[in-house]
Structure 1
Amino acid sequence: MRRAGEVRGLAQGVAVLQCEEETYPDIGTEVIDESLETVGRVVDVFGPVEQPYLAVTIGDSVHPPTLVGETLYAR
């Protein structure tokens, strides 16, 4: 398990995470919260190379507004 990034915002069922490092999870990687519950999967990587952003689809069992500001992890 490694840190994927912090949720900066939500848009159309997708969480936008800002990575803290140049390394980031691959597209299709499962994303979890600190209690090891699945949040969704990485569907896109965009933005500057130094600190890219991830687009993560949000699972049906997750209440999206609770994610903003949370740190998520790649499994």
Structure 2
Amino acid sequence: MKFAGEVTAVLGRRLLVLRSDAGQLPPLYSEVADAESRTVGKIVDLYGSVARPYLTVLCNDGVLAGVGDSLYVVPGSKPDLPKKRRQVSGYRGEGDSRYPKTGGSIWKKKSRN
């Protein structure tokens, strides 16, 4: 299995922070497992420096992992991408139009009377 990272912090009941290696950076939303090949959860965030990035793992229910544990990417797990967000109301047009319903440009020149 490919090394994902080492647990550096446990946040609440469902979040783990891993310190990863830039050379072996796993893709987002891929599943991770512990040394006994038990699925722990999915990688949901990537942040930090380019040389030593951090990963956030959203754990499954009932998973126990502590600081110092090594986690690995589950081989053959295809990352499930999150669903697309709905368009916010208050915008006109179809598709991904992002212009507000103001009736014109917000940069119009003011008329001098």
TM-score by length of 2: 0.60
In structure 2, the partner of 1:67 is 66
Higher alpha-carbon Rg: 2
Partner secondary structure for residue 61 of structure 1: coil
1:11 aligns with 2:11: yes
**Greater relative contact order (Cα < 8 A, sep 6+):** 1
- Is this contact kept in 2: 1:22–1:52, CA < 8 A? no
Unpaired segments ≥5 residues, structure 1: none
Encode CA deviations 1:39-66: one digit per residue, 9 max, x unaligned.
0000000000111000000110212xx4
TM-score by length of 1: 0.88
In 2, the alpha carbon distance for the partners of 1:21 and 1:46 equals 11
- Is this contact kept in 1: 2:42–2:58, CA < 8 A? yes
RMSD: 1.2
